[in-house]
């Protein structure tokens, strides 16, 4: 194991706020979805830390310093159906080394084993080949395409919808 998922604490709120607000880390998200109000974003991060419905993690290197290299979150998608959503981001200088795959697999394991999810879903801009490939590598299947769902770089981009069931992950 090269990385760990470190559950976020209030001590991590400033770093997570910076991650959530850094538009360069969210290149495939609509610009209007990236928060710009630091105080409101930090308040939202603090509210989510320790909640039942949102599980925020730092992705850290498995080294003495536990160097942060990104974030991963799990949150209820449709709780009545036992479904959770996964999202992730790795800093550019750490991409292409398998860290995000390892983090996503740890996140899926946590969703199914700790939170007893029946299903985990993930979504990505259809232009984000790395994220699409990652979800497929993790065993998730593309279940749908939301046509022209995202306003992105002056166009309407499709959004892919992925899912994996508990029995598929454990199998």
Q: What's the whole-model pTM score?
A: 0.95
Q: Which residues pair with 151 in a beta bridge?
A: 156
Give one DSSP letter per residue of 31-64, joined into a string. GGGS---HHHHHHHHHHHTT-SSEEEEEEEESST
**pLDDT band at residue 141 using 50, 70 and 90 as cut-offs:** very high
User: Selecting from 3.40.50.300, 3.55.10.10, 3.40.630.30, 3.40.605.10, what CATH number does the domain 3-170 have?
Assistant: 3.40.630.30
- The whole-number pLDDT of residue 51 equals 95
List the chain domain ranges: 3-170
pLDDT at 1: 66
If you average pLDDT over every residue of the chain, what do you get?
Answer: 96
Rounded to an integer, the average pLDDT of 80-93 is: 97
Q: What pLDDT score was predicted for residue 31?
A: 93
Of residues 170 and 25, more confidently modeled: 25
% of the chain residues with pLDDT over 90:
98
| Phi then psi dihedrals of residue 153, to 5 deg | 50, 40
Q: By the 8 A CB rule, do 156 and 150 touch?
A: yes
Integer Cα distance of 26 and 38 in angstroms: 16
pLDDT in tens, 37-51: 999 999 999 999 989
| DSSP tally for the chain: helices H, then strands E | 5, 7
Three-state DSSP at 23 gives helix
């Amino acid at each position: 194991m090269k990385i760990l998922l470190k559950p976020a604490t209030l001590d991590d709120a400033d770093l997570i706020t910076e991650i959530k607000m850094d538009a360069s880390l969210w290149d495939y998200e609509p610009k209007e979805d990236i928060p710009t109000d630091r105080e409101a974003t930090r308040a939202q991060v603090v509210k989510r830390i320790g909640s039942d419905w949102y599980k925020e993690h730092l992705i850290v290197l498995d080294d003495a310093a536990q160097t942060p290299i990104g974030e991963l979150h799990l949150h209820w998608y449709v709780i009545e159906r036992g479904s959770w959503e996964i999202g992730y981001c790795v800093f550019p200088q750490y991409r292409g080394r398998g860290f995000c795959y390892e983090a996503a697999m740890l996140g899926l394991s946590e969703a199914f084993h700790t939170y007893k999810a029946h299903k985990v879903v993930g979504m990505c801009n259809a232009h984000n080949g790395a994220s699409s490939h990652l979800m497929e590598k993790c065993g998730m299947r593309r279940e749908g395409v939301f046509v022209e769902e995202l306003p992105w770089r002056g166009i309407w981009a499709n959004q892919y919808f992925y899912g994996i069931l508990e029995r598929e992950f454990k199998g």
